[in-house]
Amino acid sequence: MSFLTLDRLDLAGKTVLVRGDLNVPMENGAVSDSTRIDRLIPTLQAILDKGGQPVVLSHFGRPKGRRVAEMSLKPVTEALQAALASDVRFAPDCIGEAAASVIAAAPGAVLLENLRFHAGEEADDPGFAADLAALGEIYVNDAFSAAHRAHASTHGLAKLLPAAAGLNMQAELEALESALGAPKRPVAAIVGGAKVSSKLSVLENLVGKVDLLIIGGGMANTFLFAKGVAIGKSLCEPDLAETARAIIAKAEAAGCAIALPTDASIAPDFGPRDDAEIVAIDAVPADQMILDIGPDSARDLAAQLQDCATLVWNGPLGAFEIAPFDQGTTAVAQTAAALSRAGNLISVAGGGDTVAALNHAGCLADFSYVSTAGGAFLEWMEGRELPGVAALQQ
């Protein structure tokens, strides 16, 4: 992977346009989760330390090319300033004199108004990209979570100015390269979630890249059904049974082992319970639902991970939001975390539900790298080229 990084740039006296992702959750006009802000701070601080002026560009919500007051980035300024521990000025627009005058007058960092207030952003309009480029001298992309979109601020702008990856983008790309690009083997992938249909491209890509593919969550039921296993009234996509069989055959041809549950935690309906029945995977009653892998499956997966050098994880193994159906995901996550702490496993995870599940298991910090990107991480797992990354490599 070849792209410029901050340490190779002379930023002294330069205005640096930084594409961040400040599309953060808000409650009562205040930021309720600052994770994305926190990950942007090292890049902004590095630019300041090198004598540059960081000017932050971001989208917020989906205003569809119109000014929508409740989608203004202005309320984010206070949280960004607190995290940076330095003054941040807000500009009421992201192009033109309204932006340029604030940049010229500000002694330090600047946050520009929502990019998506202009239709040219999502259209990757060359004119809008040129208007953005006129505000700075160097472009830095630190928003991997937006890299799967060919928008003006992630794609077109990178062609108009010297372009580099920010520290968070660099860490993300290096972690992904170590996970699937040039990994230490054996490589395992855990793919969970509700439906095969939502991750079909992911599965088809991974069977040619990993040595062990662990399928969990509701999507495992479709594979079990495809193998002729009775799954009661569990969530399933029967119309994808033939597709599942094709993926199994492709995996066998590629030398990729597929791991499915051997036992399950079941209940008659989806909801919290004091206990749950554990049955062998071929003994699920017709009136019951599979809501988690069972303890034997968890122990078996933990043992298989002991022999792996790299793990990529996207999606929970069960309905982790509801006790006691969090036990399988938690047990496997804690094993992966322990192996990572010991230096025996490179573990890369991503996706909103995955991050929530690992956080619930108390082991988020122990993984080698956890991506906050949603769609971009999934498209990377599908093997697709990400426009925002490709633009940095040109």
Segment 283-297, tens digit of pLDDT: 999 999 999 999 999
**Average pLDDT for residues 200-205, to the nearest whole number?**
92
Residue 374 predicted with pLDDT over 90: no
- Check 65, 108, 374, 375 and give the catalytic one: 375
Task: Work out the mean pLDDT of the chain and round it to a whole number.
Answer: 95
19 is catalytic: no
Domains of the chain: 6-172+387-393 (3.40.50.1260), 183-362 (3.40.50.1260)
Helix (H) or strand (E) holding 209: none
- pLDDT beyond 70 at 36: yes
Poorest-pLDDT segment among 47-61, 114-128, 380-394: 380-394
* Catalytic site residue from 51, 181, 352, 362: 352
Distance between CA atoms of 101 and 115, rounded to whole angstroms? 17
Whether 193 shows a pLDDT value over 90: the answer reads: no
Indicate whether 48 pLDDT > 70: yes
pLDDT number for residue 375: 85
Catalytic annotation on 271?
no
Can you give the pLDDT at residue 1?
58
Q: Which residues pair with 310 in a beta bridge?
A: 187, 346
* For residue 324, cis peptide bond before it (omega within 30 degrees of 0): yes
What confidence score (pLDDT) does residue 256 get?
98
Residue tagged active-site, from 89, 195, 250, 341: 195
Helix (H) or strand (E) holding 262: none
Per-residue pLDDT averaged across 225-236, rounded? Answer: 96
Query: How would you write 43-105 as a 3-class SS string?
Result: HHHHHHHCCCEEEEECCCCCCCCCCCHHHCCCCHHHHHHHHHCCCEEEECCCCHHHHHHHHHH
Question: 187: pLDDT confidence band, cut at 50, 70 and 90?
Answer: very high
Position 210 pLDDT exceeds 70: yes
The 10s digit of each residue's pLDDT in 310-354 is 999 999 999 999 999 999 999 999 999 999 999 999 999 998 789
Distances in Å between the alpha carbon of 44 and those of 17, 109, 152, 207? 10, 8, 21, 39
Instruction: Answer whether 212's CB lies under 8 Å from 171's CB.
Output: no
Contact 139, 133 (CB under 8 A): yes
Active site residue 218: no
With 0-12 / 13-18 / 19 or more C-beta atoms within 10 angstroms meaning exposed / middle / buried, residue 65 is middle
What percent of the chain is modeled with pLDDT above 90?
88
User: For residue 372, what pLDDT is reported?
Assistant: 80
- Whether 343 sits among the annotated catalytic residues: the reply is no
d(CA 26, CA 21): 14
Residue 394 binned pLDDT confidence (cut-offs 50, 70, 90): low
More confident residue, 374 or 61: 61
Comparing CA positions, the residue from 57, 144, 203 lying closest to residue 350 is 144
Percent of residues, the chain, with pLDDT higher than 70: 99
Q: Indicate which residue of 36, 39, 199, 209 is catalytic.
A: 36
- How far, CA to CA in Å, does 347 sit from each of 38, 213, 313, 334? 21, 14, 8, 12
